[in-house]
Amino acid sequence: MDLLSDILSHMRLTGTLYFRTSFTSPWGVRVPSFENVARFHFAHKGNCFVRIDGESDPLPLGQGDFVIITRGASHTLYCDPKTEDQALMLDQVVELSGFDGNGALVYGDQGTDQETQLVCGHFAFDQHANHPLIDALPSNIHIKNYGETAGRWMENTLRVIGAEAGTAGLGADLIALKLSEIIFAQALRTYLTTDGVDQPVFAGFANPNIARVLKAIHTDPASAWSLEELSQIAGMSRTSFVTKFTNCLSTTPLAYITHWRMQMARKSLIETDAPIITIAETVGYQSEAAFGRVFKKQFQIAPATYRREHQRHA
């Protein structure tokens, strides 16, 4: 499995679609903040503005554009800067529109040809799931003409989502939901190879020498990796490798290995009934005690307690 797929699968990416909109001018919607999610909006038809709280300038969202608000910050969607301050809270808009979860969320004056169709939702990961790649994301990812940027297949995917979201067709919700997870992964891949290529952490995935090391770690995380072995894979001296890796990933090679092992262990604890010693050995620890110490340092809770807590909440 490639690096990005491996990371997202262990973090258990899930997509949630809220609705497909049909907004006609004048309109404005204030979306409240939501912790631990990345909200997204895709302009299926028409255009609007997005002002994210804490950001100085609004984002113009043109037809075909896609934006991910990576940390769930509150934001305002609106059609005209002149009426931005008249935007209503999302729950008010839902109530006024009579939206019941079926079909499109229709709001605004009827009979106008200035319509904006958005596909809106959010992405989320498991509780305690994290990775430097996700932590390093900017406050928003704005990809203009997303379908064209990502390729013809993505353009077709977005059209399918726009057509399926909120319809009454059999399987429409599941189809739109699963496709939404695909567009998040594709958005990260697009950012990774464009604006993010020189940014901290993303630079490590873009650098071929460091990427080889990351691939080796993810392929065999339980291996007793040494800095000498990792530097040989990178084709660099030990000192140069450690410096380059740390500068690119904002963490040391051994700290990255430990972090990823604990993420794998966390996922195994909540998804399987495997004995803790088996999980410990799978991620490179020969004793349950040694594994437990590292796990507790990472999550402030013992592995067995973590499993019980998750099962109780589930």
The average confidence (pLDDT) of the chain is: 86
Span 77-84, average pLDDT: 91
What confidence category does residue 112 fall into, taking pLDDT thresholds of 50, 70 and 90?
low
Q: At residue 49, does pLDDT exceed 80?
A: yes
Span 129-143, average pLDDT: 88
Q: What residues pair up with 29 in beta bridges, in sequence order?
A: 77, 88
pLDDT at 291: 97
Which H helix or E strand runs over 169?
none
What confidence category does residue 88 fall into, taking pLDDT thresholds of 50, 70 and 90?
very high
Span 288-309, average pLDDT: 95
- Measuring CA to CA, how many Å separate 184 from each of 141, 232, 275? 10, 34, 34
Per-residue pLDDT tens digits for 147-198: 666 556 666 666 666 565 555 555 555 666 666 677 788 888 888 888 888 8
- Measuring CA to CA, how many Å separate 183 from each of 163, 267, 292? 15, 23, 37
Span 244-257, average pLDDT: 95
pLDDT at 83: 86
Domains along the chain? Answer: 3-193 (2.60.120.10), 207-313 (1.10.10.60)
pLDDT at 113: 66
Q: At residue 129, does pLDDT exceed 80?
A: yes
Sign, CA dihedral 248-251-253-257, equals negative
pLDDT at 27: 92
Q: Which of 113-127, 182-196, 273-287 has the highest mean pLDDT?
A: 273-287
CA 212 to CA 208: how far, in whole Å? 6
The most distant pair of C-alpha atoms in the chain lies apart, rounded to whole Å, by 70
What confidence category does residue 60 fall into, taking pLDDT thresholds of 50, 70 and 90?
very high
Q: Which of 81-95, 100-114, 183-197, 231-245 has the highest mean pLDDT?
A: 231-245
Q: Which residues contact 80 (CB under 8 A, 6 or more apart)?
A: 25, 26
Span 281-301, average pLDDT: 96
